[in-house]
A = this chain, B = another copy of it.
Amino acid sequence: MLNRIILIGRLTADPELRYTPQGTAVARFTLAVNRPYTNQGENEADFIDIVVWQKLAETAAQYLKKGRLTAVEGRLQIRNYENREGKRVRVAEVVADSVRFLDRGESNGTNSGQGRSFADDRHIDINDDELPYSRRNNDPFEGGHIDINDDDLPF
Contact = CB atoms under 8 A, between A and B. Distances in A.
Interface of A: 1-9, 16, 18-22, 24, 26, 28, 33-41, 43, 46-48, 51, 53-54, 69, 71, 73, 75-81, 92, 94-95, 97-98, 100, 102-103, 115-117, 120-121, 123, 125, 127, 129, 131-142, 145-146, 148-150, 152-155
B37 A2 contact: no
A71 B135 contact: no
A116 B34 CA distance: 12
Contacts of A35: 3, 75, 137-138
A34 B132 contact: no
A38 B145 contact: yes
A98 to B, nearest CB: 8
- Among A1, A39, A129, chain B packs the most CB atoms within 10 A around the CB of A1
A21 B152 CA distance: 7
B76 A39 contact: no
Contact of A135 (B47, B95, B133): B133
Given A36-B123, A36-B125, A121-B37, A76 B5 contact: yes
A8 B102 contact: yes
A9 B1 contact: yes
A142 B137 contact: no
A7 B100 CA distance: 13
Contact of A8 (B2, B131, B141, B154): B2
- Among A3, A4, A46, A154, chain B packs the most CB atoms within 10 A around the CB of A3
